[in-house]
A and B are shown apart, each in its own frame.
Chain A
Amino acid sequence: MSSISLQSSLPKTYRIIDITQETENVRMYTFDGSLGAKPGQFLMVWLPGVDEKPFSVAYDDGAHTRIAFFAVGPMSEALANCSVGDLVGLRGPFGTSYEWEPGQHLALVAGGYGAAPMFFVASEAVQHGTTIDVIVGARGKEHLLFLDQLESLPNVALHVATNDGSQGFEGYNVTVLEKMLEVTQDTKTDDPAIDQVFACGPEIMLKATLDLCNKFGVPCQLSLERYMKCGYGICGNCVMDPLGVRMCVEGPVVKGEIASKLDEFGKYHRDSVGRKHDF
C-alpha cells in the first residue's frame, strides 16, 4: 500500500493502461497512478463530458489504481466503452476503510462485484499475519470474480456459493457464513473463532450478514452504498437515517454496531434530490 495520505478533492485525469474483462459484465481498469487508497475506500471517477460517480477501489499498490465495475447506468456504460489510453478523472481516496488487527481470523463475504474490494482487503490483510476465509457468492459461476487471485494468496481459504449451484455451494454466501460461524463460534470445537466479518455486496446480503453477526456476537464491518456527489462530507446526499451520518466520511465501511442503528439500512435509500426509495 502507498504511504500517500493526501486526499485530493480536485479530479486529475489518469490514463487507462490496462483493461480486463473479468466476467461477462465486469470490467477492470488499471490507471497510471496511485491515490494511496486503502481497502474499502472509494474514488470519484469522472468521465469528462459525461458524469462522475463513486467507485470502490479494486486495488492500489502505490503505483497503480484499479477499479472493477458493472455497467449499470449511463455513466458506467460510457466508461465501459473506454479503451486503453483514454483519460479518466479520479479524485479521492474518500471514506473509511476496513480495519483489522495483526494475526486475526477474518471472514470475508463478497457478493457480485463486491469481490473486487474484498480481494484488496485480503491481499493487504494477509501481510499482517491474518488468516482469512473468503466466501464469494454470485448468481452463477459465470459471475464469480477474482477466484484465482484470491486462491493465490497465502493463508486464504476460498469458499464459493452460487444461487444456481453451478459452482460451489448451492445457495447464498451468507448461508455458508452461517454454517461457518456455527462451527467457529462454538467454544466446544477446536476451530479457531472468527474475530471479524467483512462484507461487500448487495444491501440485502449485507443486512443478512449483519443479522448473523449480531446473532453470533461477532464484530463486522460492512461496505454501504448511497447516492454520492461530493465524496467528502459537504453535499449531504449520502446521509443515512436516523443518525444522519455521511457514507462518504463516516462510511462507506461501517462497523456492525453503527449499521445496527441505521433504520434505513436494508429498507430504503435516497436519490439525487433526497427522495426516499424502498429497496
Chain B
Amino acid sequence: MNLEQTIHGVTFKNPMVLASGIMGITASSWDFVVQGGVGGITTKSLWLTEHMGHKCPTIISTENWMLNAVGLPDAGVEKAQQEIGAFMKNKTVPLIANIVAGSIEDFGKTAEGIAKLNPNFFEVNISCPNVEDEFGKPFACSAPDAAAVTKLVKKVSGKIPVFIKLSPNVDNIGAIALACAEEGADGFTVINTVGPGMAIDLRSRMPILHNKVGGLSGKAIKPIAVRCIADVYKATEGKLPIIGTGGVYTGEDALELMLAGASLIGVGTAVADRGIDVFRKICSEMQLWCTNEGVTEVSDMIGGMHRVTSNQ
C-alpha cells in the first residue's frame, strides 16, 4: 500500500500536511511535527512586516469544534527567512510557505521575499475570516480580487507552484477557483475556517474570543470541506491538485476528502485531540482501510467520487 505521491515535481512520502497556523512559528517546531509522521509542513501565515494578531482568548474549543481568532501574528519576512532558512538546511519533508497580506500589492512583495528561500509550494491565504476588522472581506470572497492576487503572486514566484487557499464562506467556491485557475494558480487549499462563529460565556454575558468572532474548525466542519473540495475539483475538471483541509481526525476522514478531490490532506485542529503524532495515526488508519479494500495506491482515491457519479 503506497501513500507516496509526487505533485508538481515534489514528492510527499504521505498525504498528510500540517495545516497553516498550527505549531508553525519556528524551524525546530516544524522538525518536532515531522517526528509525528507528517508528509509536509505549512508555515503560519507570513506577513511582509510584523503583524500583532489579536489579544487572548484567541483559541477555544470543545470536543466538537474549535474557534480561533489568533489574528495571524507574525514577525515579518525577515524572521521568516531565518526560520525557513534553518529548516531548509536539513529539510526532511517538503515545506509550503503560507503568505498573507492586507493588499494585493503586498502579496506580491511578501511572495518575492519568501521565494528567495525556495519553499516547495506557496499557499496564498486570501481567506482568513478573523482579520475582517482590519482588512475588510477576504479577497477569497470576490473572484476578481482572488484572481488579481493569483496573477501577481504567480508573476513573482518563479518556478514555485502557487496554491490559493479558498474560503468556504462564499456562494460559489467553484467560480472563485476557476477565476484563480485562469490566472495560473497551480492548485488550491480547500478550505480555510468556516464562519466566523461566536461563543458567549453565560455568567458574564460576554463573547469569549477577544475578537468576538473567529474561524470555526474541527470535526463539525468536515462535511463543508468535503462539499467545497468536490465543487473546486469539478469546476477545475480535476486538473489542479487540492490540499483538502477541514475536520480531518481519522484515516477514513482523510480518504473521504480524497474521494472528493483532495491530493494532500491538511490537519490542524486534530493535533489538540490526537497529539502531535496524529499524522502517523491517520496514515496507519488509511493504510489499514486501503489494504482491506484492495487499494494499492492512495492516489487512486483522488476524485473517486466524481468518477463514480459521472457514470451514473
Report yes or no: B52 in contact with A272, Cβ–Cβ below 8 A: yes
Tell whether, in the assembled complex, residue B208 and residue A46 are in contact, meaning their CB atoms are under 8 Å apart.
yes
CB pair A236–B59 under 8 Å, yes or no, is: no
Among residues 1 to 57 in chain B, which have CB atoms less than 8 Å away from a CB atom of chain A?
21-26, 28-33, 44, 50-53, 55-57
Q: Whole-angstrom distance from the CB of B55 to the nearest CB of chain A? A: 5
Interface centre among A87, A235, A246 (most CB of B within 10 A): A235
Stretch of B120-128, B148-156, B158-166, B267-275 with 4 or more beta carbons under 8 angstroms from chain A: B267-275
A46 to B25, CA, bound (A): 24
Chain B residue numbers with a CB within 8 Å of A242 are: 28, 31
In this complex, what residue of A is CB-closest to B217?
Answer: A234
- In the assembled complex, A13 has its CB within 8 A of some CB on chain B: yes
Proximity string of chain A (48-74) to chain B, C-beta cutoff 8 Å, 1 when within and 0 when not: 111111000000000000000000000
**B26-A9 in contact (CB<8A):** no
- Shortest distance between the CB of A87 and any CB in chain B (Å): 5
- Quick check: A51 and B55 within 8 Å, CB to CB? yes
Instruction: Determine whether the beta carbon of B25 is less than 8 Å from that of A243.
Output: no
Does A44 belong to the interface (CB within 8 Å)? yes
- B interface footprint on A222-250 (CB within 8 Å = 1, 0 otherwise): 00000001101111110111111110010
Q: Which of A15, A49, A230 contacts B58 (CB 8 A)?
A: A230
Q: Are A245 and B57 in contact (CB under 8 A)?
A: no
Which residue of the partner chain B has the closest CB to A264?
B28
Q: Is the CB of A274 within 8 A of B73?
A: yes
- Interface residue A4 (Cβ < 8 Å from any Cβ of B): no
Contact across chains for A48 and B28 when beta carbons are under 8 A apart: no
Instruction: Take A48-B204, A233-B272, A243-B32 as given contacts and tell me if A273 and B73 are in contact as well, using a CB distance cutoff of 8 Å.
Output: yes
**In contact, A243 and B208 (Cβ under 8 angstroms):** no
- The interface residues of chain A lying within 8 Å CB-to-CB of B51 are 273
Q: Chain B residues near A10: list those with CB within 8 A.
A: 60-62, 199, 208
Chain B residues with CB under 8 Å of A44's CB are 56-57
Known contacts A87-B203, A89-B201, A236-B23: does B28 contact A244 (CB below 8 Å)?
yes
Find out whether the CB atom of B75 lies under 8 angstroms from the CB atom of A12.
no
B206 within 8 A of A: yes
Give the complex CA separation of A278 and B6 in angstroms: 42
Is A9 a contact of B73 with CB atoms below 8 Å? no
What is the CB-to-nearest-CB distance from B166 to chain A, in angstroms, rounded to a whole number? 22
A91 at the interface (CB under 8 A from B): yes
- Bound form: Cα–Cα A219–B62 in Å: 37
Q: Which of chain B's residues have a CB closer than 8 A to the CB of A239? A: 23, 25-26, 28-29, 32
For the complex, count residues of B whose C-beta is within 8 A of A: 46
Known pairs A11-B201, A52-B57, A241-B26; A235 contacts B206 (CB<8 A): no
Q: Give bound CA distance, A179 to B56, whole Å.
A: 43
Residues of B within 8 A of A243 (CB): 28, 32
Instruction: Name the one of B25, B68, B74 contacting A270, with C-beta atoms under 8 angstroms.
Output: B25
Interchain CB contact (< 8 A) of A53 among B56, B79, B203? B56
In the complex the two chains form, what is the Cα distance from A53 to B210 in whole Å? 12
Residues of B within 8 A of A11 (CB): 57, 60, 201, 208
What CA separation (Å) do A249 and B26 show in the bound complex?
16
Which residues of A from 88 to 112 have beta carbons under 8 Å from B? 89, 91
Give Cα A53 to B73, complex, Å: 16
Q: Which residues of A contact B83 (CB under 8 A)?
A: 274
Contact residue among B24, B28, B60, B204 (Cβ-Cβ distance under 8 Å from A9): B60
Question: Is A275 on the interface with B (CB-CB < 8 A)?
Answer: yes
Known contacts A230-B59, A235-B70; A275 and B26 CB within 8 A of each other: no
Partner of B26, one of A49, A234, A235, A244: A244
**What are 13 residue pairs bridging A and B, where the CB atoms are less than 8 Å apart in the complex?**
A10-B61, A13-B201, A49-B206, A53-B56, A89-B57, A91-B60, A229-B56, A229-B70, A239-B25, A244-B31, A272-B52, A274-B25, A275-B50
Closest 4 CB pairs of A and B: A244-B32, A52-B56, A236-B23, A244-B28
Interface set of B (CB-CB < 8 Å, partner A): 21-26, 28-33, 44, 50-53, 55-62, 66, 68, 70, 73-75, 79, 83, 199, 201-204, 206, 208, 210, 268-269, 271-272, 276
* Seed contacts A233-B276, A234-B23; 4 additional CB < 8 Å A-B pairs: A9-B66, A44-B57, A52-B210, A242-B28
